[in-house]
Structure 1
Amino acid sequence: MADSPANISDATRSRIQELVKGSDVFLFMKGTPLFPQCGFSSRAVAILEHVGAEFDSADVLQDPEIRSGIKVYSNWPTIPQLYVKGEFVGGSDIMMEMYEAGELAPLMREKGVATNA
């Protein structure tokens, strides 16, 4: 059952892994970078744009299996979710804390991701 928090299908897990590993920086979000559908997703996009990191994204509102599956995959209950080089970084609040502390751009550079910050 895709809606059960304890279960994630192998197909959904594989799709999530392909998305996460197919991009240096990947954001699971509500909406798109041009039209975020929640304040937290909007803030996550703004932070990534401010540090100048190119990123890919998935609109979880368009895919219920990904929307429920990503929460199980990361063991993190909220969206947005940021991945850098396949590693889960956190959600909007963690991104904001890292950005304000001057830690997000250095993390990306450490992982080999170009930024303008």
Structure 2
Amino acid sequence: MAAKMRDWTDYFYPETIDPRTRQGVLRNNFGERNPEQLRRKEEVFTVARLDELGQYPIEPAGGRFDFEHMKAIHRHIFQGPITGPQGAGESPRTHRNRDAGPSTGQERGL
């Protein structure tokens, strides 16, 4: 079972977090802590997965493009790079609003 996320920063490798911005390098299957190296590795995987989707699209269940279908596409594209408490195609386990309290999006009309 995936770990419980307590805070936005749990998505990052702790030693990479900038205390001013609360940003860092996202946990990943490569164990890569260097953001530029991670970007390069992610590009190789995601371009290949996007090419696969072009050749073999993921058909939506029941013919509906819905949240579950979107997650399946995300899972396929990012199945290599993304790891940690929230894997590819998974819903967040904590609120990711970095600068304020928890947000549901309702106050913004979402």
Q: TM-score over 0.5 for the alignment?
A: no
Structure possessing the higher radius of gyration over alpha carbons: 2
TM-score by length of 1: 0.24
More strand, by proportion: 1
